[in-house]
Chains A and B, each alone.
Chain A
């Protein structure tokens, strides 16, 4: 069939449908000419069903009227992509995922850019990096599993994939599989639906190294936990390396079976902390270098002093700066950064800072800010100081050493102690619990 028929059909549909309908349902269809029919490939079952129910009659009618007189007019709608083989329409199966196919091919899904060389090391992650290198060089024989935990956007996925890339670099035949825990769950559900659990389990049990991101998403998914538990045991017994990441210490995950919690921390568990100022600067300089952009150190400091939460946000800010410079022709300097990030900086300034917390706490307890920062240890001063430190940990993204610094140059263990003490007192003293609640309200509304 003349492929121009579909183009003409599109022209008609574009006239007849709203722009939104066209862009949502019709534009993602790919047309493949096959013998005497047009196969329309929808990106998923949902789009296919919507097109089938709402537009298929009209499409068939249009194709019928637009096709050459002696041409066939059959239109088939199925799920698939012209880049990958399509599945029969009748099954409704989603064709893209290798993991649940009967004869799975090993596809690592590793991002080759996530290597140890491209990882910027600092105090907050040096231990995690050292552990990851150790694991990659002795896969299955060293710490197993390696579990990296910490807040979002701190480089856990980068380190985990760097392990996978190094394992692959040392042994090209290694079957390294990286996936997000949600993908594991989804693939398992599909395998259950399709009756291919045997293949699913065999696939995961036969890998050389399994890297699973964000295991906190296993919470409350009991069947997935059960299956993962078996995969986990099988790999560990077979001496295959496992690397896991989590956004918190696994014991703190609600809805995760105890036996999994204890197994997750069998090997080596390492925290990845938020980067400190100099580390953030180093990250910015490295990213800029990767983008081929000349970033002066003072400009990097300017950005890093203002974007403190995590590396992803830092990257987002740098991308905005680079895009602004590229398309306006301005040179990257502090003034240009101020301009490119003005909306972001305005929001940051409205957010809670340590200064603000100290001021509010001092007002609340009717003491001086200087007392909070002093060495005085009597209870009238020490308790509010502990509360303020705890609030700083809870409401800001500053690292513990940074909070300690901001409170008269104290050690990060003092901050940790303050947080524990306040947590304990909040459960035993109604007065302190009330004070704390009031302060949070004052600071966040």
Chain B
């Protein structure tokens, strides 16, 4: 087990390396190849909550920054607060990521601002990366011009991880932290804890800290004790 200084949590979550591809290998490979590369591009990632949309958007921003480029991650709330002001000048970013973007459909001001940004980014060669829970044309866009531009994006459907995928994801995250998470322990966790990926990764954070504090390996008895304490009222 790797020793970590107390009070420091590893920020391993929002990178491509921490993403367990499952059946989303094409989207991951495409993003790895395009983020940080030059040239205008537009991609639309869609899938149910927990399928890794936000992770990939944040990882793309991280990758762009690593490549020396400027990137920004936006949510509908940030954009809707001041559509034109929030998106102004973002064509000078190499990557603009807008999460949960289906929620801006039907908001005229936001659609106009987004349409304008699409054009500006296209002219300057930047990438627009969008995530939503459905494909582009299933939303009630008011601007046909925006809808057609979004429909021209490279669209990827993201599928939530199955149990085998979640097991691999847990082990991948643990490995990135220098933790050894035996398959039997990972299966034990999956059998007893909330299996939503976010909840699982939060549990891994807790296990990481607890194992460090107790100087124990992630054995089933140790994990059982922690899950038991968390479940206790």
Contacts and interface: CB of A to CB of B under 8 A. Distances in A.
A15 B9 CA distance: 8
A343 B26 CA distance: 15
B112 A45 contact: no
Given A111-B123, A347-B137, A27 B90 contact: no
Interface stretch (A76-84, A123-131, A251-259, A422-430): A76-84
A324 B23 CA distance: 12
Interface in A17-74: 19-20, 23-24, 27-28, 30, 43-47
Contact of B152 (A45, A180, A313, A347): A313
A96 B92 contact: yes
A23 B73 contact: yes
A28 B72 contact: yes
A310 B148 contact: yes
Contacts of A83: 92
B148 A182 contact: no
Contacts of A94: 88-89
Given A27-B65, A46-B88, A96-B92, A182 B115 contact: yes
A109 B91 CA distance: 13
Contacts of A84: 92
Interface in A254-301: none
A366 B6 CA distance: 79
A180 B116 contact: yes
Contacts of B78: 24
A53 B189 CA distance: 42
Interface string A7-19: 0000000110001
A46 B152 contact: no
Given A183-B116, A313-B148, A43 B85 contact: no
Contacts of B155: 316, 320, 343-344
Interface string B142-169: 0011011101111111000000000000
B11 interface: yes
Interface in B30-79: 30, 58, 61, 65, 70-75, 78
Contacts of B120: 183
Contacts, number: 131
A153 interface: yes
Contacts of A327: 25-26, 29-30
Given A27-B71, A28-B71, A152 B123 contact: no
Contact of A347 (B9, B85, B135): B135
Interface residues of B, number: 53
A237 B39 CA distance: 39
B144 A247 contact: yes
Interface string A305-329: 0000110110110011001101110
B123 A43 contact: no
A382 B204 CA distance: 70
A10 B58 CA distance: 16
A151 interface: yes
B70 A180 contact: no
A15 B144 CA distance: 42
A402 interface: no
A46 B86 contact: yes
Contact of A312 (B8, B97, B152, B154): B152
Nearest to B157: A343
B75 A20 contact: yes
A14 B85 CA distance: 25
B82 interface: yes
A309 B112 CA distance: 22
A310 B149 CA distance: 10
Contacts of B82: 46
Given A81-B70, A344-B155, A324 B26 contact: yes
Nearest to B146: A152
A205 B96 CA distance: 34
Given A20-B75, A28-B71, A343-B135, A153 B157 contact: no
Given A180-B116, A328-B26, A347-B135, A20 B73 contact: yes
Contacts of A153: 148-149, 151-152
A142 to B, nearest CB: 27
Nearest to B124: A109
B138 interface: yes
Contacts of B14: 19, 23
Nearest to B9: A15
A153 B150 CA distance: 11
Nearest to B87: A44
A81 B92 contact: yes
Contact of A28 (B8, B70, B137, B149): B70
Contacts of A152: 144-145, 147-148
A94 B89 CA distance: 7
Nearest to B84: A186
Contacts of A320: 154-156
30 contacts: A14-B11, A15-B11, A23-B73, A24-B72, A24-B75, A24-B78, A28-B71, A43-B93, A44-B85, A44-B86, A44-B88, A45-B85, A46-B86, A81-B92, A94-B88, A111-B122, A153-B148, A153-B151, A180-B116, A182-B119, A183-B116, A183-B120, A186-B116, A214-B145, A309-B148, A313-B148, A313-B151, A323-B26, A323-B30, A327-B25
Interface of A: 14-15, 19-20, 23-24, 27-28, 30, 43-47, 79, 81, 83-84, 94, 96, 109, 111, 151-153, 180, 182-183, 186, 213-214, 247, 309-310, 312-313, 315-316, 319-320, 323-324, 326-328, 343-344, 347
Given A47-B86, A111-B122, A313-B148, 14 more contacts: A20-B73, A23-B14, A30-B70, A44-B89, A45-B88, A46-B86, A81-B70, A81-B92, A151-B144, A153-B148, A180-B119, A316-B153, A319-B153, A320-B155
